[in-house]
A and B are shown apart, each in its own frame.
Chain A
């Protein structure tokens, strides 16, 4: 089990976290959004090998944050609160 750094609580066991999707998957608003663009937002994921920026939520405190980690080595590179405050 890995240790994830919650920007609010510090390093905690991975079982306390939920994955929330790719970071930077901005939501296109409006009914006129091209359907391909909307489908990308809903379903298309980058699944990178190496450094990935992901949204995670710490279930214990409810904090959503951006975590950068390496999908090959499982090394955690950084975690940043959604407001932009940097933690680790």
Chain B
């Protein structure tokens, strides 16, 4: 028994609420307020995991977010998270905690033999060794042996993570003495404050370091300050980590909950930011400095004062700075036998009572197998110890400042990087700015608040003992004996950094990538500075000459669920839905997504879909078909310059269109490629409706807006996207007019009054309807547009009246067959990113139009005039043969090799024609009608005959039948 729980004390724990959880199968007892780490320490569990590469036994190092060793997998009914830091995760009843990278458990790991071969597996060993024939051959097995925790594949999400957007005047990161003082001063200046801290309780170092503020014990001052801030209505978020500062000082927060809810992501846009993020204690370099039982000195004090855990009986405290003295004193007072080894011969404080001080000595090595048993000093003195606490100095937590592109300044006196030139809207205060004593902290807070342009009143005063900042740098040195760890989590030692230097990876960014120093989940919070100081020593440079790697978010790991929020499953890319969706579902429609819209593919349920589709397509030609075409774009172009505008937008001349008439046309991109096709309706002199492709509405709308605003001006043209306002119900087929005549639509359906490509207005049940005679099937068709919310009775009426005509309701698949029979194209399917209008057989406007239009100049380039362009054709196969596969290439043999001469773009079995029909883009196709070509698909070659695109009713008689 070495570590133990004291009978009294512990400001964070509630002894009236015992809890229990399991670690590697054994039951661990603790109290509410314990972290997993403090409970494991109290239970004297020394080995909590195995290291990444060498499977070395590892114990708890710290008491916070910087923890490199104590990563655990958490399962059980409460939560399931791999690679969780035991030092930040609250211990709760029922948790199932497992050590990582250990088989079967941390204490007896069968891969521990790897450590004996460590000499043969230095930095980059795997990359160098497994190069031939291919790293990827070896990677899976190597990764399985390395790696960290295991994802629980049986885990299911309790629901989406909340995401909250938040604004405030001042965001204070860190609720230690500096953060609390800054929040109070900002509040006093009348600002709205948000205060975040990654610990469950505010106070920071005041929770375990002795101090007195404004004449009160620190704990009382913390309590009063927090109460005052809450009273004033400020937002205080404990257990919340500010993990990133992004452009324009957007700050990302991840808030942890203790009730099984997913974490909450906060996007905060503060006017000003105060970083009071504290500092992180560094290890000291000596051989085997990674043994379990070797811990951060400050962490040991935190466990003592917060959790009443005494981490050992015979403790060596090794330090190079003053902060270890309070730790040694407190542990001796708590009953441990304490030896303090200070690297400094002179200038150190006096030894605390009951502590043996050895000045001017440092640790050379630690001994022990599964936990530390003794240390050897640099003069050979051997000291027995069941616990070694080290303090190698403090690294200000300037990660967020660095992310905000703040430049760092090296301080030789503090042996640390401090924040350099200020960043707009960001002030750094407290230990993060290099302050040591509370007086320094508070003075710095006053300056920080003033730097944000605020007047400060009543800056707190330190009235108790003050910490002192004496330090003598103790960096890892080249040529040291034994294995000295720098990066615990990624198993990087002094020898690895020396190897990197020998192989000329001397730049700090190369050092990082070559040795993986600082690339573990802890991102080198304890190891980066010792690593680059060692590189400085090896290469004869100063620490600032070596410099730091780039600081990037996140500061600590953030669950992907936080970033995903509600954007999962259907909400990942929400589909657009038809007003009549439920009506179609009730009719047995099978829905599919088409260009962002959820539409009926066909009716008749899922069984025998192909037959349903063929039936729909055949019956549509026999009598009359009903089709929901509501997705069709309906963008209105209104205003005195509307005619001039549509002339510019379209490839075809549109201004000559008479009111009440429709015209089919193309829109081009400026590079001449056909962008969209559709019918333009002219309602009156100054009002047009652009019917664009369903999936293109947003893009066409944006394009119209751009030209309107950039070329025509807002006063001359107005654009309104009415697509969602109206439902469009299509009636098509030889009996379409007869069916419509049974409805009282209040308008003449006579062909003289409403011929093909005309539009007319009527009404249905008191609502205006617009009827356009436009056809995508090749049959007489009427598109009836009505207010979306009044479409259902009209649809029901059409279906009811349709019974007398054996009407069929068709889905999009049948419509695709009907239009392909007619050779009507779908942009993006029968065209690609090179198709020009002349390739589709529409040459007229190019040669005849005088006025300017989008894409015009591009139609006259050398490329546009090539003789071997791909052109739209029909492709026929012998009767009885299956349809050609869409995407199959037309091929010809040249120089002994097959060469593509175009491809099949649409292909269907036509139930009406009793044969396959296909469209394709084929080289010089327009001039090759009647020619037979080879079509290759998956290595097989068939033949097809080039034909005009239209395979059904080429004269177009059925439009008027």
Contact = CB atoms under 8 A, between A and B. Distances in A.
A82 B247 contact: no
Interface in B204-260: 246-248, 250
Nearest to B849: A31
A42 B858 contact: yes
Contact of A3 (B248, B705, B861): B248
B805 to A, nearest CB: 44
A2 B248 contact: yes
A82 B857 contact: no
A58 to B, nearest CB: 11
B857 A33 contact: yes
Contacts, number: 50
A3 B670 CA distance: 31
A29 B852 contact: yes
Residues of A in contact with B, size category: 20 to 34
B651 to A, nearest CB: 14
Contacts of A42: 670-671, 858
Interface in A1-55: 1-3, 14, 18, 20, 27-31, 33, 35, 38, 41-42, 55
Given A29-B852, A42-B671, A74-B248, A83 B857 contact: no
Interface residues of B, number: 22
A62 B719 CA distance: 10
A45 to B, nearest CB: 14
A85 to B, nearest CB: 11
B246 A83 contact: no
A38 to B, nearest CB: 5
Contact of A31 (B247, B706, B856): B856
A18 to B, nearest CB: 8
B103 interface: no
B267 to A, nearest CB: 8
A34 B208 CA distance: 77
B130 interface: no
B709 A64 contact: yes
Contacts of A35: 857, 861
B709 A31 contact: no
Contact of B250 (A1, A55, A62): A1
Contacts of B861: 35
Interface in B663-680: 670-671
Nearest to A4: B248
Centre residue among B248, B267, B269, B861 by max chain A CB count within 10 A: B248
Interface in B261-282: 267, 269
A67 to B, nearest CB: 13
A57 interface: yes
Contact of B713 (A38, A55, A63, A83): A83
A29 B856 CA distance: 9
Interface in B700-755: 702, 705-706, 709-711, 713-714
A4 to B, nearest CB: 9
A64 B710 contact: yes
Nearest to B267: A1
Nearest to B861: A35
B269 A64 contact: no
Contacts of A18: 702
Centre residue among B269, B702, B709 by max chain A CB count within 10 A: B709
Nearest to A18: B702
Nearest to A62: B705
A3 B246 CA distance: 11
Contacts of B857: 28, 30-31, 33, 35, 38
Contacts of B138: none
B706 A57 contact: yes
B857 to A, nearest CB: 5
A2 B269 CA distance: 10
B860 interface: yes
Centre residue among B247, B250, B714, B857 by max chain A CB count within 10 A: B857
B852 A30 contact: yes
Nearest to B850: A31
8 contacts: A3-B269, A18-B702, A20-B706, A31-B856, A42-B858, A62-B705, A64-B710, A74-B247
Given A20-B706, A74-B247, 7 more contacts: A1-B247, A1-B267, A14-B247, A27-B670, A30-B857, A57-B702, A57-B706
Top 3 closest pairs, chain A to chain B, by CB: A2-B247, A64-B709, A29-B852
